[in-house]
Chain A
Amino acid sequence: MKKTILTLAAALAFQGGFAVADTYNVQHSSPAGTFKIDPLHSVAQFWIGHMGVSEFPGRFDAISGSFTVDASNKADTVSVEIPIDSLDTNYDKRNKDLLGPDFFNAKQFPKMTFASTSVKMKNDSEGTLTGNLTLHGVTKPVTFSLRHVGAGPDPWGGYRSGYVAKTTIKRSDFGMNYMLNGISDTVEVQLNIEGKRQ
């Protein structure tokens, strides 16, 4: 009996020790280099007001492109391309409505693109990203708030860097005017991008 109690106590102590350890660390290596966007760890998400009662999310699952970070932050560039038909809002009928002529009109405008014109970093991790967003056949300048999450080696011998960019756009600026009385004009957009250094 005494042996059983001792064994149980040892097991609990051993298990508890592992459960509280947080071994996740943000890497703070240099973000410089040219990176190809890893589509498996990148996503474009949006939130849009629905009937004045909620903010509903959607996302684009396929994303490609690249970004280059100069050591002096003077020649940074970002280029992103997203196929519109990679849209997912967790409901097929709604996806079809959104991809049709009511909103994105994916048959005519099959992709959206973003090409940066300037990147201004306030410090090592925060700044703004300005560029031209082409969506629904309309190109408009857009400014994102930019946060550098981290950079460093991955376990497979590569080197990665990641950012989160957020902005708010008006869909009517891009010619998407349908049902503004039920679905908000203002859309919050967030790009989570992870790139692998080339």
Chain B
Amino acid sequence: MGPLLLSMARETVLWPLAASLPLLVLALLSRKHLPVQIPGALAICAGFLTGYALIYGAFSFPPGEAQGWIPYFLALNIAIFSYDDLVGFPPKTRIILQAILSILGALLIFSPLFRTGFPFWLFIASSVLWFGLWVMLDAENSFALFFVAMGNAMVSATTGSTMLGQFGGVLAAVLGMHVLFNIPRSRIPLGHAGAAVSLAILASLMLIGRAYAETALIPNLLLLAAFPIDFAARRIVGKNEKRAPYIGAAFALIPVAIASIMAVKSYLAQQY
């Protein structure tokens, strides 16, 4: 492995996991005093931001680019939904907050493009999609999220942007670690905060990829399709069934695998 590849592996996997792991251990140790979801969500955030800082290297405010907003948006999400995990918002309040943050997230990503003729309806559609996925994934221990993050890393790196692919790789690494702590039984549920930050990262990366790097459309749609497939499979098996997350993830893996194969094939077709 060459020095560049080693350096990328350190930025994408090693250092993010080194930042995430202590917080996951802390989550287990402090569960008698604090809702375990909160340090769990902090672990995802800390891991991702470590990789983000090493790869992107900028934390300016106000950010000059869409991806520059991700840390601030994550901070907002984790602050609101950690409080939710702590005190428990009424469902209506939570739904309203999720709707507002979905719109805000899409707005931060697309606003630099509005003056270049970016279609407004795509902003609306993206906000609605973000909100829909959030409601579907909220507080679920979805292993599918991990698979989709891996698929997103592959699709972004091969069809649009190496940097976004690396960001996707960081998310997949920290979610993978989170998943490991939940096998064979759920010890650190995602909770509202974990779902909020995981989806905020994933949605941001997918939208930035499509809007700024023109990542391939069909593989991206297949990745999105993994969520309703996972959701439907879990509902069919029975939400409270222990094997439901595994069965849901197994079905979700199918579109993710197809998307990844399509992306890699299109990448290889472009090589000399």
Using a CB–CB cutoff of 8 Å, the interface residues on chain A facing chain B are: 51, 91-93, 96-97, 100-102, 105, 107-108, 110, 136-138, 175, 177-182
Contact = CB atoms under 8 A, between A and B. Distances in A.
B145 to A, nearest CB: 23
Contacts of A108: 65-66, 112-113, 116, 212
B94 to A, nearest CB: 32
Q: Is the interface of A mostly helix, strand, loop or mixed?
A: loop
B64 A175 contact: yes
A110 B116 CA distance: 9
A107 B58 contact: no
A15 B41 CA distance: 82
Contact of B58 (A92, A177, A179): A177
A35 to B, nearest CB: 30
Contact of B113 (A92, A107, A177, A178): A107
Contact of A177 (B56, B212, B213, B270): B56
B162 A102 contact: yes
Contacts of B66: 101, 108
Nearest to B159: A96
A101 B57 contact: no
Contacts of A51: 4
A96 B214 contact: yes
B182 interface: no
Interface string B206-221: 0010011110000000
Given A101-B164, A110-B116, 20 more contacts: A96-B214, A100-B163, A100-B213, A101-B65, A101-B66, A101-B161, A101-B163, A101-B213, A102-B213, A108-B116, A137-B64, A137-B65, A175-B60, A177-B56, A177-B57, A178-B56, A178-B163, A179-B163, A181-B7, A182-B4
Contacts of A175: 58, 60, 64-65
A101 B67 contact: yes
Interface centre among A93, A102, A177 (most CB of B within 10 A): A102
Contact of A96 (B3, B57, B58, B160): B160
16 contacts: A91-B272, A93-B267, A93-B270, A93-B271, A100-B163, A100-B214, A101-B161, A101-B212, A101-B213, A102-B164, A105-B65, A107-B211, A177-B57, A178-B57, A178-B163, A181-B4
A91 B271 CA distance: 9
Interface string B153-170: 000000011111000000
Nearest to A51: B4
B135 interface: no
B55 interface: yes
A176 B198 CA distance: 26
Contacts of B212: 100-101, 105, 107-108
